[in-house]
Chains A and B, each alone.
Chain A
Amino acid sequence: MTTDAAETALVAETAGSRAGSVLPRTRRVPRTGHRSVGERPSGAATAILLVGALYCLLPVLWVVVASTKSGSELFSTFTFAPSTHLLDNVSDLNAYRGGLFWRWMANTALYAGVGAMLSVVVSAMAGYALAKYRFRGKTAVFNMLLAGVLVPGVVLAIPQYLLMAQVGLTNTYWAVLLPSIISPYGIYLARIYAGASIPDEIVEAARTDGASELRTFAQVAMPMMAPGLVTVFLFQFVAIWNNFMLPYIMLGDDKLFPLTVGLSGLLNQGASQPALYTLVITGALLSIVPLVALFLLLQRYWQVDLAAGAVKA
């Protein structure tokens, strides 16, 4: 539920800060690095935060340590005693079925990258239409799109498979990409961002200048929505990256697998084969690295544009 919760949380966040935005619309000076002289650091507050950080880091730390252990050390030495086999494990993983792991990594990047990018475009268009036009059926369309969040992926997997099979798309990249493009949350957010960041006057001005609707959207609206769309991209990226059920059902060829499905397969070898724990753990570590990098690089973005979107509204 990590992903779902996070996505729902995001929706709630945006709506919530808008609700709070009846307050004076002044940009608050960021307080980090601007601590007043009289402010004593509180040991208790810091300690609680560090305990929370430890709680969240502990399993990740476990992955780091465990991935340095050999197969037998994993089950015989103390959990947090590191060993020296990280490179062996990586090279074992590298050797597995001719480097298939890297193919999974590339597939995942493709599903998440392309899927999230297309999702942003589709969501931005829909969100812009819902926020900036008045037309019959608008509420109905919006409600319908939003209702998509009520139906869990497990439920949809088989009907989706059966329909995909009718058009011969199962076991192809499209089987995973197409369903990833539509994101009710993305549309919801894009509507909020469009409403908050694009003044009606500017749209009107573009029209008066004779710009077509498409041109107005692409050249005027999109750039104004851009920071918000980065957020939509990030969430959809993580959601697709972590997705399991859809690719699991859709794909039979392991050369098309994303990481989640591939790694889970290494664990589920059936009774007559040993589970490949060291490979899975090393793979899990390597698969977290790109996302962590993405977080560290883009977290700044996140903070800024969510706040900006809310304050400007």
Chain B
Amino acid sequence: MTTTTPARPTAPPAVRRRRPGASRRQGAPWAFLAPAIVLFVLVLALPIAYAVYLSFRTEKVSGLGLGSGSRTEVWNGFANYAASLADPEFLASVGRVALYGVIVVPTMLGLALLFALLLDSRRSRATKFSRVSIFLPYAVPAVISSLLWGFLYLPGVSPFYYVFDRLGWDVPSLFSSNLVIFAVANIAVWGGVGFNMVVIYTSLRAIPSELYEAAELDGCTQVGMAWRIKIPIVVPSIIMTFVFSMIATLQVFAEPTTLKPLSNTISSTWTPLMKVYRDAFIRGDLYSAAATSVIIAVATFVLSFGFLRLVQSRAFGQEK
């Protein structure tokens, strides 16, 4: 049984029976893992290490800063971290993303569960069409989907506002400061609901039909069956979708960045990652950007650590 505590030896040597070829097999897993590990180190671990290194450094300019040799890279200790944590814009972006997560995650998963249950219900029709349609947004890259929704949001070109106008309703712009977070959240929900629906639906389909037959014999209604049998069984998958959606929420970047030029209300530090982007790409300050990234990664890790353990113990608990 695999354990989640790295300190404990994974293979109890006492009970292992020596078989021919066992020594050869010692190297085999590492050989199979080698491509993954090499690539991991090259394209993930090294850049991460490099980013951590940069987060402790900064660039100092001398004089007018013109011409070669006027910039030198120096150690900066924890100053970049201190600056990030003390930056009111960063703290505001964290608060905003928390609110955003509170809007997006329950809405997205709630709709996903609802659609999955309806797809699974014997009384629904047009299920194949609905399933494919709801899943379709998954095929649209965030860069494009934000453009599409931008057209649908802007009162001057939106069909919704056209209708509101005809009805004589004065509906405020979705880009006004109170509503813009919903405008962004909607794009995330739109893009994510179909996938989560398919996920939950698939685990619903894995429920043995005997269970339903028994329930039906007991006179259980479809709704009762959903509440008493289906939802409890898919709860583990919902919990996990929840936490992983939360990680994705902390990393929200593409949608607000694409909507930004359409509005006055999305600032360049609207989400934590947008601040990273601004520092690194617009201000040319890789060092602060690296420090903020490390803070975000650590926060994500802390938030999801307990959960990863849970995933592991559940998913691999049965592995011999």
Contact = CB atoms under 8 A, between A and B. Distances in A.
Is any CB of A less than 8 Å from a CB of B in the complex?
A: yes
A146 interface: yes
Given A35-B122, A295-B136, A62 B148 contact: yes
A299 B135 contact: yes
Nearest to A291: B139
Interface stretch (B33-41, B58-66, B79-87): B33-41
Given A16-B234, A135-B26, A178 B157 contact: no
B122 A129 contact: no
B244 to A, nearest CB: 3
Interface of B is mostly: helix
Given A1-B251, A5-B191, A244-B254, A42 B151 contact: no
B175 interface: no
Nearest to A56: B134
B195 A129 contact: no
A30 B120 CA distance: 10
Interface residues on B, range: 35 or more
Contact of A213 (B24, B133, B237, B249): B24
Contact of A303 (B21, B205, B248): B205
A67 B21 CA distance: 63
Contact of A1 (B31, B119, B188): B188
Contacts of B217: none
Contacts of A19: 236-237, 314-315
B136 A292 contact: yes
A293 B2 CA distance: 40
Nearest to A121: B35
Given A160-B43, A267-B147, A75 B157 contact: yes
B308 interface: yes
Interface string B131-167: 1111111111111110111011000011100100000
A149 B247 contact: yes
B288 interface: no
Interface string B2-35: 1111100111000000000100111011111101
A207 interface: yes
A242 B142 CA distance: 7
B118 interface: yes
A114 interface: no
B269 interface: no
B190 A12 contact: no
Interface in A20-71: 20-21, 23-24, 26-32, 35-36, 39-42, 45-46, 48-50, 52-60, 62-63, 66
B36 A122 contact: yes
Nearest to A190: B36
Contacts, number: 399
B130 interface: yes
Interface in B170-225: 188, 190-196, 198-200, 202-203, 205-211, 222
A156 interface: yes
Contacts of A135: 10-11, 26, 29-30
A115 to B, nearest CB: 12
B256 to A, nearest CB: 10
B314 A56 contact: no
A53 B134 contact: yes
B206 A310 contact: yes
B238 interface: yes
A5 B240 contact: no
Contacts of A109: none
A138 B188 contact: no
B276 A155 contact: yes
Interface-central residue, B148, B210, B314, by most chain A CB under 10 Å: B148
B319 A131 contact: yes
A128 B255 CA distance: 37
Contacts of B276: 154-155
Nearest to A311: B206
Interface in A223-280: 238, 241-242, 244, 259-260, 263-264, 267, 280
Given A56-B190, A128-B32, A155-B296, A1 B249 contact: yes
Closest 10 CB pairs of A and B: A16-B237, A8-B244, A12-B240, A2-B191, A159-B47, A53-B133, A129-B32, A13-B199, A291-B139, A79-B159
Interface of A: 1-6, 8-21, 23-24, 26-32, 35-36, 39-42, 45-46, 48-50, 52-60, 62-63, 66, 75, 78-80, 121-123, 125-126, 128-131, 133-141, 143-152, 154-156, 158-160, 162-163, 178-179, 181-182, 187, 191-192, 195, 200, 207, 213-214, 217, 238, 241-242, 244, 259-260, 263-264, 267, 280, 284, 287-288, 291-292, 295-296, 299, 302-303, 306-307, 310-311, 313
